[in-house]
Structure 1
Amino acid sequence: MAQATLLLPARTRLVGQLLPPDVAKALGRADRSQGEAGERAQLRRQFQLVPDHWPVAALTRQRDGRDAAGASWLRADPARVSPDMTGARMLAYGEALALTDEDTANLLPALKPLFGDAGMLLDAPQPARWYLRLPVEAKLPTFAPASEVLGDDLFAHLPEGDAGRRWRALLSEAQVLLHNHPWNAQRVAQGKPPVNSLWFWGGGVLPDAVRTGFRQVKGHDVLLQSLAQVAGVEETHANGEGGVDALIDLRHLRNLDLLCRDALRPLLEALRKRELDALNLDFEDGALFSLRREQRWRLWRGPLQRLDTARPDHVPA
């Protein structure tokens, strides 16, 4: 069955705008349900990992370096922090720092001995994504994703206990090295943010397999691209052929009119013409809508005027 699934932002980011009548009618007649909220949950609904775990670092490393097998990986992403009354607050990380290969060439040599002495190899195949390579049997604590730490105190998100103590010490030493590095002083003098911290997250080993029912995956998100690549989608259907079974990432959209005009209306028309059998909408807040052609006969259901008024756990009869 040919189908398309849209990954969408939380409905709260699209509120305050009325749905156009044709889209409102279709969504009012759609099947609704409620899943787990969050971007990670969205991706886990579309990709199944064997064994079942979520090693972001290993997945993105395979995309960046094609060498993730045979090791355990941890992201050690560059970050900018600002000291406050309670600790150090993360203001930016990764791509937001707009680092270049020149930045990594200057900063990494100061950090490599610190991690080398701890039995880890630090490198950066992409300036925005830094990695620690560890033995495949290494036991890693659970770290919060960098996106969850942004705007908060770093140390409030580090793991506790003996394992956490080791990583707290490594983070503190790395911060001292970066704070005193002359390259950071040069960046500040040029009006650029300093790289004065790291953030560890996403640890684990590459899964034995990643499975998905999609034949095309479209989107610029690095983790989404990594999952698709490990699942074999990239190589098999890089030319765009292979049917309509597609996963389309639109989580960056904030304009409801744009979403309706450029995505929902064309796909609803494809449903009407039998070019598509099902259209699935997966919102970051866990709201799920499933649309099919035969739902047009649900004449007793009224239109859904606004996304924020829909209760996915309450489906009209």
Structure 2
Amino acid sequence: MATATLLLPARSRFPATPLPEDVARALGRAERNSVEPGERAQLQRHFQLQPAQWPVAALTRQFDVGDAADGVWLRADPANVVPDMHGARMMGHGDTLRPDAEDVAHLLPALQPLFAGFGFVLDAPVPSRWYLRLPRGTLLPAFAAPDDVLGDDLFAHLPEGDAGRRWRALLTEAQVVLHQHDWNQHRVAAGKRAINSLWFWGGGEPPQSVHTAHAQVRSREALLQALAKAAGVQADGDQQVDALVDLRQLRSLDQLGNDAIRPLLSALQRGELRRLVLDFEDGMRFELEKGQRWRFWKKPLQLHDA
């Protein structure tokens, strides 16, 4: 019998409404524990990389193109920045800006000479994922993931120190090029946000190996698909295997309770599933098994009460 693991958003993303009674009862009887919160920590619970780094750019590059070996990679994703009284805020990046091939065709040639002078190659095999290939041995500072920057003060997340100086300067120069580009007027006229900045993140070399305990990974998200591919596990097929199911897009407790958890609780009771694990991004984990139904003295538990 298999284990199903649901990869879920932080519980704060759900409204404070009640779960179905049978689901709340199952959560109350489940084993639960708290682990390290955050998106990266959540994914690292399921994928082990050697060396133990987190080179998102190299992973997704290999998934997108298949040429990441023997290179140092950095994501340089399209972004939208809006000035405010205290500086500037990132209001969109990557997929949220709905970039397309025309955006790449107009904007990338204007940016490529800026990076070529440093020996960096900029390209965009996917309109929402732009890459810099860097010379071997390039030392990179710590970069913030765009989801951590979104809506916040941009300057609070810029790479620090001497190692970050070059990248702060390149970001400023790229913003000047993009701000002056006529194509952004076309995007704004079409009701889209301007692509007036880049965001550098996810740098590093491809890992030597990626391992996971799951036999199957189901996700539409590029990084998770890239990790699954690197680990050599299937993306679909036989459901009677240990599977990791990415439901981080859920925002409705009705969908979580009725559509996601309830059918799996039924599978537990029928003996078709050995265990169900709910892994939330805020670090709360529930482990549910058939034998827990005898814990009738345990009170039902709502999601936000755990």
Q: 1:129 to 1:215 in 2, by over 3 A?
A: same
Counterpart check, 1:248 vs 2:245: yes
Equivalents in 1 of 2:207, 2:251: separation in Å? 33
Corresponding residue for residue 54 of structure 1: 54
Equivalents in 2 of 1:286, 1:26: separation in Å? 19
Counterpart check, 1:309 vs 2:294: no
What CA deviation, in whole Å up to 9, does each residue of 1:116-159 have, x standing for no partner? Answer: 10111000000111000012321110010011111123222112
Instruction: Point out the more displaced range, 6-15 or 56-65.
Output: 6-15
Q: Which runs of 5+ in 1 are unaligned?
A: 311-317
| CA RMSD in angstroms, aligned pairs only | 1.4
How far off its partner does 1:84 sit?
A: 2.3
How far off its partner does 1:238 sit?
A: 4.6
Equivalents in 2 of 1:97, 1:299: separation in Å? 50
Corresponding residue for residue 152 of structure 1: 152
**TM-score under structure 2 length normalisation:** 0.96
Counterpart check, 1:229 vs 2:229: yes
How far off its partner does 1:242 sit?
A: 6.7
Q: Aligned residues: percent identity?
A: 63
Structure 2 letter corresponding to 1:308 = H
What CA deviation, in whole Å up to 9, does each residue of 1:3-40 have, x standing for no partner? Answer: 00001121122242112221122111110100111111
Given candidates 259, 263, 288, the residue that maps to 2:260 is 263
What CA deviation, in whole Å up to 9, does each residue of 1:38-61 have, x standing for no partner? Answer: 111111111111111111111111
Equivalents in 1 of 2:191, 2:21: separation in Å? 49
Structure 2 letter corresponding to 1:269 = S
Whether the 8 Å CA contact 2:228–2:235 is kept in 1: the answer is no
Whether the 8 Å CA contact 1:215–1:243 is kept in 2: the answer is no
Corresponding residue for residue 80 of structure 1: 80
Q: 1:309 to 1:189 in 2, by over 3 A?
A: closer
Equivalents in 1 of 2:186, 2:172: separation in Å? 22
SS at match of 2:45: helix
How far off its partner does 1:191 sit?
A: 3.1
Counterpart check, 1:277 vs 2:279: no
Equivalents in 1 of 2:149, 2:21: separation in Å? 40
Equivalents in 2 of 1:200, 1:188: separation in Å? 23
Instruction: Point out the more displaced range, 258-267 or 84-93.
Output: 84-93
- The total of aligned residue pairs comes to 306
SS at match of 1:186: helix
Equivalents in 1 of 2:253, 2:186: separation in Å? 43
Instruction: Point out the more displaced range, 253-262 or 44-53.
Output: 253-262
Structure-to-structure mapping, 1:104-119, within 5 angstroms: 104-119=104-119
